[in-house]
Chains A and B, each alone.
Chain A
Amino acid sequence: MPPERANGVSRRDFLGLAGAAGAALTAAACASAPATTASGETTPFDHETDVAVVGSGAAGAIAAVYAHERGAQVLVLEKGPVFGGTTAKSGGVYWIPNHPIERERGLKEPRETTLRAMCRASYPVLFDEKKPRFGLPQNEYELIETFYDRGADAVVGLEKMGALVSMPADVLVGPMPDYFEPPDAAKIVDRRYWARKPDGTFGLGDEMMRQLKSALETRKVPVLMGHRAVRMIANAKREVVGLEARRLGGAPVRIRARRGVVFASGGYTHNPELVLNFQPGPVFGGCAVPTNEGDFVAMAEAQGAKLGHMQSAWRAQIVLEQALQFSSTPDDVFMPPGDSMILVNRLGVRVVDEKANYNERTRVHYVWDPVRHEWINLLLFMIYDQRTAELYGGRFPVPAAGTSAPYVISAPTLGALGTALDTRLGQLADRTGGARLDKTFAKTLTGTVARWNQMSARGVDLDFQRGERIYDRDWHLKIWSFPNQGTKHALAQKNVTMHPLSARGPYHAIVLAAGTLDTNGGPVINRKAQVLDATGQAIPGLYGAGNCIASPTGPYYYAGGGTLGPAVTFGCIAGEGAAQESPKELA
């Protein structure tokens, strides 16, 4: 037996250092401080600036660059110890419509055509092309329209300033389809861009943030690391005129922002209370950095802000056992790899096109069974055979050849796999509401696999149309699930995403649950990136961009980069807007 430990688990020491200990602190600070303050004048400020930006991911860094470009003195606060937020660990792709490169390549899609597709994708029930604004409410339409009209300017502007050099993201494996793939799409239009490294090759999120960080350094914009914003300071006219932050050790830091404050502080994936109150069902974690605890929500509420899309998130599945140990997962399961692979729920039935895009696919976890009184798809089990293990090993979460992973459950037969899976679920039950396999699981799974094998032989998924969409095939084969060379297995012929499961074991299972890239609800902004109050009026001096605000494209994820595209665009608008505000009095 291992010796006893005196001090508990080492990681807990670190989470405090990383700033996660601040949950109680935020609540106290926000609750105790009404917006208007006369004390602001009496206590000296530690820093004075024109524009304060909270958060150093893409939206924040770009807001800071643009605010500086418009002549403002700028200060950036970052809660974590590492610059770049979730962007720095992401793929760093930004989806931007109507970029000059797109036009140079001969794509002359009319503005209205793209806007129509965006509006339809974002709000399918409201959408009506005969109505003004395609049936969308004024603000929702204007945000999408602004994203279309200003996104390319934001990207080109960064390039002109030497702050971020972009290149089309299709250099890797050719053009990739958008996630909404309108039925009338004539050809694949790839609107994804990412950073170009100085040597001409492409860079991902950390290259994007390296360039933006360097741009801030060149412009001598200070970045205060380890500073968590806890309270806004407003004057008697309810204009936001500054911020109070806390440093890691708890020391308060007061910042005077003469012209405005821009929040770009990320979503609330790692705030269990907000997740409980606003998400449509359980969220076990996600790849957002652990400092994304939705700090902006309570602070903005204290200023009377209107909240929007709070139930929404950029969704992806995650490996349950990773998330149970640390909610900030190293990676999400963007697409379960493999062809001889299916996802089933605890009854043993398939419930979704396994190759559908992650944001849409993950929503299937939120199906409530009114008879059994449970989230029937709370957990989904990725079942695959040795073919997928060999041909697609190394594509997360399937381990590469010669390696094993503790979250993979293996057994010689499907029956034994069910038994082993249920045993594992028993070990996790204290954190999953007691989720176990149904007693009919083994029998039902046999039938599910038999049907899958029949359909795979014909290459047609009669149940969920797997592989019919270009997205399913292209993203499967080129990005998420590209096959290993030199195995004995040939690619599936009739439908590249479908192959029968072998009649012989071993078989493997991985437990998947609902997660996020990050949430994307929060205070609502208008087309100028100003945060709105409950009556729809802009709160003077307060701007927002990125995942901390109500997503300008609604809950819909247009394509790879559908997260960062709006962040880049509204980060630019917020930075420019705040810089051009007139200075505000403290009193």
Chain B
Amino acid sequence: MSARSQLLRRASRATSACCRGTLVALHSDGADASELAPLCVGLEAELDVLAPQAARSRNPFLSSAPPDDPRWRAYGGFRWFARDDAGHPEPASFGDSLWQLEQLARELHERGAAPVYLVGYRDGATLALGAALAFPELLSGVIAIDGARPEIPGWSERHAIPADLPVEEIRAGYTDPRGAAGALREFLERRWRS
């Protein structure tokens, strides 16, 4: 039985022989796999950068229209999960995305592409923090840009991020995730030094 992640993804490979693992970049609500490429520029020299794309289209009729397509005026991009009235992630879609991400992390371990680092923006950050709660043993670091920890009554209070997993939450209100590129690089370099 295969349990591979079914997420569509965009990959850029480290060119050097001294690959330091894989950075998995999780886009925000309404974006797609290309969103965080500018944030990760320069990191490809040292890490494989893998950007999966949420499966849930915000517009089920018009998946992946080109950015300038007028069909996007109504909706665009993809989302990891829905939210309820209280702003909590809806469990079924959040859980499905988290499960897909878990399979991806396992895949990376199996093919020797670990350590695995996660960077997420907005809802992607919330998903990354969910991953830190659900399967921290597969991760070597999480950086969350403008995302809150997921609050799912009945689940999140039963989980805690272990103290030995480096997690950095940036809450600077970036309107452009590129603004966090320096912080991301510093975070990774600290991991590499330690």
Residues of A within 8 A of B (CB): 1-3, 5, 9-15, 17-18, 20, 80-83, 88-91, 172-173, 197, 201-204, 207, 225, 248-249, 287, 289-291, 319, 321-322, 325-326, 328, 330-332, 334, 393-396, 399-400, 402-407, 427-428, 430-431, 479-480, 482, 484-485
Contacts and interface: CB of A to CB of B under 8 A. Distances in A.
20 contacts: A2-B109, A2-B110, A9-B102, A10-B95, A10-B102, A10-B135, A14-B91, A88-B82, A201-B74, A203-B74, A248-B154, A331-B55, A393-B64, A396-B57, A396-B63, A399-B8, A403-B33, A404-B9, A430-B1, A482-B71
Given A396-B64, A403-B33, A2 B98 contact: no
Interface in B68-94: 71, 73-75, 82-85, 88, 90-92, 94
B90 A5 contact: no
A407 B6 contact: yes
Given A20-B92, A82-B82, A5 B135 contact: yes
A202 B71 CA distance: 10
A484 B106 CA distance: 34
B55 A485 contact: no
B11 interface: yes
Given A2-B106, A82-B83, A83-B85, A14 B95 contact: yes
A133 to B, nearest CB: 35
A14 B158 CA distance: 13
A10 B98 contact: yes
B99 A81 contact: no
B176 interface: no
Contact of A287 (B60, B88, B155): B60
Contacts of A1: 109-110
B63 A17 contact: no
B149 to A, nearest CB: 15
Contacts, number: 160
Contacts of A395: 63-64
Q: Chain B at the A interface: mostly helix, strand, loop or mixed?
A: loop
B66 interface: yes
B183 to A, nearest CB: 26
A83 to B, nearest CB: 7
Nearest to A172: B71
Given A203-B74, A331-B60, A403-B9, A17 B66 contact: no
B56 interface: yes
Nearest to B102: A10
Given A396-B57, A484-B66, 10 more contacts: A82-B84, A207-B74, A248-B154, A325-B100, A330-B55, A394-B63, A404-B8, A427-B1, A479-B61, A485-B66
Contacts of A290: 92
B55 A14 contact: no
B6 A15 contact: no
Nearest to B56: A330
Contact of B55 (A12, A18, A322): A322
B90 A201 contact: no
B16 interface: no
B39 interface: no
A580 to B, nearest CB: 31
Contacts of B66: 394, 484-485
B91 A17 contact: yes
Contacts of B57: 330-331, 396
Main secondary structure of the interface of A (DSSP, over half): loop
B1 A14 contact: no
Contact of B95 (A15, A91, A406): A15
Given A83-B85, A403-B10, A431-B1, A15 B65 contact: no
Nearest to B100: A325
B14 interface: no
Contact of B91 (A81, A91, A197): A81
Contacts of A334: 61
Contact of B6 (A88, A325, A394): A325
A82 B90 contact: yes
A201 B85 CA distance: 24
B113 to A, nearest CB: 11
Contact of B59 (A3, A80, A204, A407): A204
Nearest to A201: B73
A209 to B, nearest CB: 11
A197 B74 CA distance: 9
B99 A9 contact: yes
Interface in B148-181: 152-155
B108 to A, nearest CB: 9
Contacts of A431: 1
Contacts of B59: 91, 204
